[in-house]
Amino acid sequence: MPQVNVTIDDVNPLISYGPPGVWQEVGIGGDDLSVHYFDQTRMGSPALGATASFSFYGSAIWLFGAKRSDHGIYNVTLDGMTSSLNGTGNEVYQAVIFNATGLTLGNHSITLTNAQVNDTFPWVDLDYIIWQTEIGQADDSLIATNIEDTEPAFSYQPQAAWGTNPPNVSGFSNSTGHNTVTDGAFATFSFTGTAVEIFGTVGAANSNYSVQLDDSEPITYNAMRLNFYPQVPLYFATGLTPGNHTLKVTNKPTSPGLGLSIDYASITGTTKRYFSAFPHYLPRR
């Protein structure tokens, strides 16, 4: 199967941080060290027991962070197996702080935990995550295409609850987007393929949303962040059976006025299935 590496930044809502209030988000220009981090962002915590959790479908994973003089002991638990590691270092940024390869292709879960034992070295931070997944068969070639929010593959319900001029729309793909602040308003995306991503925004005006793929149980994510970030993957799924699929994204605000923004989708298929799978979305030249 063709192998694909997928990267998400630390502010991505697919990463769950806990307990509430113990992680500190540093965005672009947040301090003098930001320039050393991937996309100039990081999440860090000095709190014992602070966790960052992530689930993925794949066969390998790498966690990146910093090794600095005030960083200490942390644990990484992958599928129930825990490793204890030391983050103390001489100001090394975008460093691999954990990796695992050769995993059985399938669903996995990983948790980074602050396990500091000395107040002099209390910090752990997370910069970004890369995981490796596989799509198609061994002799396949992959083709991916982006579908803008304005395409008929998207449907927005109720229509009156959705606007087409979200805040900071110039930062969206093609400068177009849909947004809602209505509790329960949802967008559906219909596609044929073996992998899908939905992109939107995270920030102080965003909140919880749920994603349901076909008939699976909805999964809730939290898109609230201190700073605004556009074109962020809100959902990623691979290993899908070839055929038609429907993705439903629903606004689940924790407070009135908080919303959900949809930018575009990305779908992936193989050359063997591409023209039957995506009859309306030929490759962009």
Predicted confidence at residue 203, as pLDDT, reads: 97
142-277 to CATH, choices 2.60.120.260, 2.40.50.140, 3.40.50.10860, 3.40.50.300: 2.60.120.260
What pLDDT is stored for residue 125 in this prediction? 97
> Is the dihedral angle over the CA atoms 265, 271, 272, 276 positive or is it negative?
positive
Q: Give the residue carrying structure tokens 């500190």.
A: 24
pTM over 0.85: yes
pLDDT given at position 4? 87
pLDDT value of position 141: 73
Q: What is the pLDDT of residues 184-240, one digit of tens each?
A: 999 999 998 889 999 999 999 999 999 999 999 999 999 999 999 999 999 999 988
Are 99 and 131 in contact by the 8 Å Cβ rule? The answer is no
For the chain, the domains span 3-134, 142-277
Q: State pLDDT tens for residues 236-281.
A: 999 888 889 999 999 999 999 999 999 999 998 765 544 333 434 3
Q: Which residues of 168-200 are buried (b: 16+ CB within 10 A; e: fewer)?
A: ebeebeeebbbbbbeeebbbebebbbbbbbbbb
Domain 3-134 is classified in which CATH homologous superfamily?
Galactose-binding domain-like (2.60.120.260)
Whether the domain at 3-134 and the domain at 142-277 fall into the same CATH topology = yes
Query: Does 142 have pLDDT greater than 80?
Result: no
In tens, the pLDDT along 29-40 reads 999 999 999 999
